[in-house]
Structure 1
């Protein structure tokens, strides 16, 4: 179990990019393209044990997940079962999220089975890679399962580095990741805990509107260096959303070291900083009782 007194931060957004047998999380073309986009030099495929050691050294905990987009990409994912199994070996620092293919015939059954695993706290969706609109009623039975089990549903939002710069963007379509679609999800599933991942370029105001209007919607700050955050995001993080904004890096493409170094330069109120770095995530993940 995670001892909150022993850690300084909870990173809500890290990726399991390789399986135990070396299978990558994305097709090689998309993996190589994203590495070029993010200017990632060298090896980018830490094992889950490597992730645990990395965060343990920094006295941080981290949420780890994969993305099941097999229908859209034709590429089998890193198994959510494997992510849960490997994270269980490092329960002092790692929290697994699962993923299901929203187009899969067994998506509802898979969601129910994975949500019942004792250490899984949530599910990751990437609408652009998985090629689905989050407010598509066909996916609602999956959300019903997640709400019933008290899961967190974390959705990529805005532009993505996956496919960026490739011909046709690697076939990845940005339209699926407009965070306004999550307003319908939050309205129809008022008990579902939702995280809008990333500064939602070019829909930052939409994300802020949904998060301020719907009590269960949060925003994680992953994927961007804080020095590039839009000013309205910083303003809302300091005020109306101070209890709903979450630290996330996007490791391994963006390290928490880089993120935290740039976060230190932001004009964040002293009482808000620990909420963003640890307290809000601890409450959302059920590591402390909800006030």
Structure 2
């Protein structure tokens, strides 16, 4: 069976060591890669991962150009790079159009690092434009060690985006929100324009609730993810296998949903 990781991170070689070092101190987890794209791809192959989405975050508006250039330089068949924009970007619409025209499939939003609540009016400019362009919006959801008290991305707020942008394809990391899974069941489960990834679950989530959310939301809306380098995909897969889902459900989660969403044919490595 093919395996595609919808939630990974890597950095340009020039900043990878510094970025990984700072983030490791924040998270308290040893990284599984050195943060470069070359090491990430090498490790993926050794772990049996056939490809993945590389997610990037614009922590300030001025990073739009460098992130776009990095994404287009690494984007290929099995490596799908998501760019990013900041809600305060004065060239927001032009930058989103450039992302679309450059052949990229989506953007990453991390409201804790970008310091905004996901239902703010200024953020809806991003969502509406992405809905128009057909770009996927991939969100960090729930708790983060960077902002452990204030949750900028909560299930009730994501539900507002789902309602306001019914044709927007939304991906929520961490099965809808680390430490907020009761609210995921209340506000998110059953929304067909929302996909949930499986990253960081074995560290934080009880398997009974994981399986219940997957079954109630539908395996066709679940994406395998690890949050590599902060979680080894082999651990993520082991946890997923422990749920004893059907073979068909596992295929959907591990690669078929990703192929459909991204309109790609993942090549077995």
Q: TM-score by structure 2 length? A: 0.86
- What is the correspondence of 1:146-185 to structure 2 with a 5 Å cutoff? 146-161=130-145, 163=146, 174-185=150-161
Distance 1:83 1:208 in 2: 36
Q: Which residue of structure 2 aligns with residue 138 of structure 1?
A: 122
Per-residue CA deviation, residues 107-160 of structure 1 (Å, 9 max, x unaligned), is: 232222122211x11111111111111111112222122112211111111111
Q: 1:213 to 1:270 in 2, by over 3 A?
A: closer
Distance 1:78 1:173 in 2: 31
Q: Which residue of structure 2 aligns with residue 197 of structure 1?
A: 173
Distance 1:276 1:144 in 2: 27
Residue of structure 2 aligned with 1:69, choices 59, 63, 71: 59
Q: 1:80 to 1:24 in 2, by over 3 A?
A: farther
- What is the correspondence of 1:4-43 to structure 2 with a 5 Å cutoff? 8-16=2-10, 18-22=11-15, 26=19, 29-34=22-27, 36=28, 38=29, 40=30
Distance 1:84 1:97 in 2: 7
Q: Deviation of residue 236 (structure 1)?
A: 2.8
Q: 1:175 to 1:227 in 2, by over 3 A?
A: closer
Q: Deviation of residue 275 (structure 1)?
A: 1.1
Q: 1:133 to 1:26 in 2, by over 3 A?
A: farther
Q: Unaligned 5+ residue runs, structure 2?
A: none
Q: Which residue of structure 2 aligns with residue 114 of structure 1?
A: 99
Partner-residue secondary structure (3-state), 2:130: helix
Bigger share in helix:
2
Residue of structure 1 aligned with 2:113, choices 121, 129, 142: 129
Q: How many residues in Structure 1 have an aligned counterpart in Structure 2? A: 263
Distance 2:16 2:34 in 1: 10
Over the aligned positions, Cα root-mean-square deviation in angstroms equals 2.7
Structure with higher RCO (Cα < 8 A, 6+ apart):
2
Moved over 4 A (4+): 23-31, 75-78
Q: Which residue of structure 2 aligns with residue 80 of structure 1?
A: 67
Q: 1:94 to 1:190 in 2, by over 3 A?
A: same
Q: TM-score by structure 1 length? A: 0.80
- What is the correspondence of 1:195-234 to structure 2 with a 5 Å cutoff? 195-199=171-175, 200-225=177-202, 228-234=205-211
Q: 1:116 to 1:229 in 2, by over 3 A?
A: farther
